[in-house]
Amino acid sequence: MLSFQESILRWYDENKRILPWRDAPSPYSIWISEVILQQTRVDQGTPYYLRFLKTFPNVNSLAEADENSVLAVWQGLGYYARARKLHEAAKIIASGGNAFPNTYDSLMSLPGIGPYTAAAIASIAFGEVVPAIDGNAYRIISRVFNIADPITGNAARKGINSIAKEWISKSRPGDFNQALMDLGATICKPRNPICSSCPLQYGCEANFLKNFHERPVKISKKNSKHRFLIFDLHLSNKKVGFVKISQGNIWRNLFLFPFTEYENEELFVREVERMQEQGALMLCRDLHVLSHQKIHFNTRMLKSTIKPKGMVWRDLNRLEQTPVPAIITKILTHWEYKISRLI
Ligand code: SF4
């Protein structure tokens, strides 16, 4: 009978996904693909990966770019902090003569590279025997061993880490890690695993007990922070007014419509009502969900002749060079018909 490791590798050899970063993998291309895939699914992330590699084909070109152009290429992926860290790390690598760090430990010293990404690069590009444990690996292992401890807790994490260390192939660590990624993405899926096609089906406890939908055990996260914002959408001559955010984490160096933030929902609702009573043209209340924040917002449309301090005009039809967060894209796309009537 095949071991888990042999079963997984044999399955991978016959079923691995054809992905652009697997064509001619380099540490750089693996790095970029892994960071993009932390944000989105493979099918959605692939065009972003291709565009990123076309614009910045190597570490040097990324290091030499200005931050605005990096953020502009990242636009649509969200979570811009990751793009900033990529840029920062590229500058550090370039300043050391472009030699890409080639061990797990040296990769971990770069900004934005955590244990999973470091292990993925070290194993795939440099053959280091280190397991890359992402959500896929946690899910597969917790199902195979029917782990009932919450996945966020230390006990489960430690257990899964040591199983992954035992399982990983010493001769093909990169393939082994990619096999777990592919198996988790295509067979041992979060909702409907296809156990009948799984190479681990005969040794998997969750398959035997038919409780795979209860594994891994998750405990709901703490409530997200709620924020309440009213945007001012200034329109003039096919142009839209933006302010560049210089502080904070989520929107730093991105362009937003000028906005006012309210302390609580009551003040926010009262202010929207006051604006409406005064005849302001408001769009609808909406919700934008980020990993740790729920942003409740409304938007006031203003056909502007005035230009608030710090605001810059941007041509609505040429926004590619203006890095805007997803919440702004959402407003512009959702309300395109209304905006085009006013502008
Ligand atoms: S048998 Fe089913 S639950 Fe078990 S690892 Fe395979 S797909 Fe996942």
**Domains, in order of start, for the chain:** 4-214 (1.10.340.30), 225-342 (3.90.79.10)
Which among 7, 12, 15, 144 is the best mutation to test ligand 1's pocket, defined by most ligand atoms within 8 Å of the CB? Answer: 144
Phi-psi region of 210 (alpha: psi -120 to 50; beta: other; left: phi over 0): left
Reading the block at residue 343, the tokens are 């502008």
Residue 183 to residue 253: CA distance in whole angstroms: 38
- Ligand 1 atom with the smallest distance to the CA of 193 is 7
- Ligand 1 atom with the smallest distance to the CA of 205 is 4
Helix (H, G, I), strand (E, B) or coil at 229: strand
pLDDT of residue 221: 59
H or E segment to which residue 259 belongs: strand 259-262
Amino acid at 321: Q
Which among 7, 143, 163, 196 is the best mutation to test ligand 1's pocket, defined by most ligand atoms within 8 Å of the CB? Answer: 143
The pTM for the full model equals: 0.74
pLDDT of residue 201: 96
pLDDT of residue 333: 85
Bridge-based pairing of strands 225-236 and 293-303 is parallel
Q: Give me the half-sphere count of Cα atoms (radius 13 Å) on the Cβ side of residue 264.
A: 1
pLDDT of residue 24: 81
pLDDT (tens digit, 0 to 9) for every residue of the chain, 343 residues total?
Answer: 679 999 999 999 999 999 999 988 899 999 999 999 988 889 999 999 999 999 999 999 999 999 999 999 998 888 888 999 999 999 999 998 878 999 999 999 999 999 999 999 999 999 999 999 999 999 999 999 999 888 888 888 999 999 999 999 999 999 999 999 999 999 999 999 999 999 999 999 999 989 998 899 887 656 678 999 999 999 888 889 999 998 877 898 899 999 999 999 889 989 999 999 899 999 888 888 887 888 999 999 998 777 778 899 999 888 888 899 989 988 888 887 777 776 6
Ligand 1 pocket by C-beta < 6 Å: which residues? Answer: 140, 143-144, 187-188, 193, 195, 198, 200-201, 204, 206-207, 212
User: What are 286's strand-pairing partners?
Assistant: 297
pLDDT of residue 220: 62
Q: Give me the half-sphere count of Cα atoms (radius 13 Å) on the Cβ side of residue 202.
A: 7
pLDDT of residue 334: 82
Question: What are the C-alpha distances in Å from 179 to residues 4, 133, 332?
Answer: 12, 12, 40
pLDDT of residue 222: 63
Amino acid at 166: E
Ligand 1 atom 8: residue of nearest CA = 188
Helical H segments across the chain, by residue range = 4-15, 27-37, 42-55, 59-64, 67-74, 80-95, 104-108, 115-126, 135-144, 154-167, 173-186, 205-209, 265-277, 326-334, 336-342
144 CA to middle of ligand 1, Å?
Answer: 7
